[in-house]
Amino acid sequence: MAAALVPKSESRRALAAQLKRLEARSDADAELLVELRSFLRDRARIDEEYGRALEKLSRTYMARKLKRGPTLVRDGAGKGAPTAAAAPRKDGGSAPHFVSDDGHVRPMYEVYLTMVTECERAGRSAITAAERMASGLTESLKDYHRLKTSTSKKAIEYATKYHQNLFTVFEELDRTKAVYEKAAKEAESARRRYDDVVRKPNSGLNAIKNMMSRGDGDDRVDKLQKKWEAATQSLATCRNDYLLALEAANAMQNRYYNTDLADLMT
């Protein structure tokens, strides 16, 4: 069964609109990647400032000396016995801790010290995360943006070339259709002339035509029959060419919409 006729004018408009949408989508993706990279870069700067502010806050309070109560020691040196919270460090020293003459430090001081030291640790973590975001993630997005832009450009070029090939197929379809329609008219005209002579071989008009062609009616019937048969054979050939062109146009268009267009949009 023959495929449906491809509406060339509508296809041209649809393909042109799709190409514009593909270009707009590519531009929108590129814009979003630029905005995302800018956002992460600003976020990293803010996080780094926040982390350094936390470190500064922690160190400021670590440097303060309480007028009353135990003494805060940062490097493990100091008088008195250290508390149980003074865990050893990798460098051989101990973590910041309170010391007192009697070796007893109330829990509330330990809670305070934990909050101050965790503040410094959170600051360092924020700075590390900000540095990774600024140097790692934003650079990866920059590379991805470059790759995305290049890929989109190639996709647009491929789509443009594909559309040109489709238009060429549509033009060939129009050409074969015009040839087929002309052949159909010629075959129908030859058939009518042959039928007219067969039905009324000795009518006045046919007699005049026989005289002008200097032949009898049978010769003219044979000539018209051969012309009709030749026109019919030509019509069959033109019809096959048109159906093949129609099938090729629809197959190419279906592949574009069902496969290639989806690939271009990924």
pLDDT tens readout for residues 207-259: 444 444 544 456 767 888 899 899 999 999 999 999 999 998 888 888 888 88
The mean pLDDT of 63-68, rounded to a whole number, is: 84
Question: What was the pLDDT predicted at 263?
Answer: 79
d(CA 127, CA 250): 60
Q: Supply the mean pLDDT for the chain.
A: 81
d(CA 209, CA 163): 54
Question: What was the pLDDT predicted at 151?
Answer: 86
Question: What was the pLDDT predicted at 17?
Answer: 85
Question: What was the pLDDT predicted at 206?
Answer: 45
The mean pLDDT of 57-68, rounded to a whole number, is: 88
Cα Rg for the chain, rounded, in angstroms? 45
Question: What was the pLDDT predicted at 200?
Answer: 62
Ranges 47-51, 90-94, 171-175, 199-203: which has the least confidence: 90-94
pLDDT per residue as tens digits for the range 234-245: 999 999 999 999
With a cut of 90, say whether residue 4 has pLDDT above it.
no
With a cut of 50, say whether residue 79 has pLDDT above it.
no
Residue with tokens 């540095």: 131
The mean pLDDT of 164-175, rounded to a whole number, is: 89
